[in-house]
Amino acid sequence: MLSGTPPSIKRLIEELKRLPGIGDRNAERLAFHVLGAPAERAEALARALVMMKKTVRDCRRCYNLTEEDLCGICRDPNRTEGILCIVQTARDLLAIEGTGQYKGRYHVLKGVLSPMRGIGPEDLTVQALLARIGEEGIKEVILATNLNVEGEATASYLLAALKPLGVKVSRIARGIPIGGSLEHADAVTLGLAIDGRKEL
């Protein structure tokens, strides 16, 4: 950046660069976009950021994001009782909700097991999950952690912890995405697709 750039613009660019996926060029573009916008738009953005940080918290039941004691999903009487979908983050919950295919309830782990980073079961919401199984009469748990090493390790840990409780435990399907071609799929993905085949 040029040395003649005002300090306030430099400061904004530096803060924007801290956001995931925002590099130098994108940070500069965003900063100059905000600078060129009407003052009301910049103030509205600043107010929205401050308000979000002040009001958003974890749902006391499922650890989804909410501004109330319980999130909208936990308060919804039309959700299917007795089934929990376990996700790593609230963003994962939103992704599943976006499909419109799942009508049960959720539990957000707030991360995954990662011994390399010092993250164990006590750092996640595992104990709250296990307590919910009995308290809410949960019959089925769907493990929807990411399909990577840490996600698989977390799913394996949860399977071992949940099985003695007598609940049905399933795992989200893995395989070839819609529109994907077999020739471009890796061997692991192809193997999972074969293993997870369904009778027609």
Per-residue pLDDT tens digits for 77-127: 999 999 999 999 999 999 999 988 899 999 999 999 999 999 999 999 999
Q: Identify the pLDDT of residue 197.
A: 67
CATH superfamily for 7-55 is: RecR Domain 1 (1.10.8.420)
Q: Identify the pLDDT of residue 131.
A: 96
CA atoms of 61 and 74, how far apart (whole Å): 7
The pLDDT of 165-175, averaged and rounded, is 89
Looking only at the bridges linking them, the beta strands covering 65-66 and 83-87 are unpaired
Name which of 34-38, 120-124, 184-188 the model is least confident about: 184-188
CA atoms of 164 and 167, how far apart (whole Å): 8
Residue 129 burial class via C-beta count within 10 angstroms: exposed 0-12, middle 13-18, buried 19 and up: buried
Name which of 74-78, 97-101, 162-166 the model is least confident about: 97-101
Q: Identify the pLDDT of residue 105.
A: 97
Q: Identify the pLDDT of residue 1.
A: 54
* Position 177 pLDDT exceeds 80: no
Location of each CATH 1.10.8.420 domain in the chain: 7-55
Per-residue pLDDT tens digits for 132-151: 999 999 999 999 999 888 99
Location of each CATH 3.40.1360.10 domain in the chain: 78-171
CATH architecture group of domain 78-171: 3-Layer(aba) Sandwich (3.40)
> pTM for the full model?
0.83
Is residue 170 helix, strand or coil?
A: strand
Q: Which residue bears the tokens 């109330």?
A: 68
Q: Which residue bears the tokens 């990577």?
A: 148
What DSSP assignment string belongs to 1-36? --TTS-HHHHHHHHHHHTSTT--HHHHHHHHHHHHH
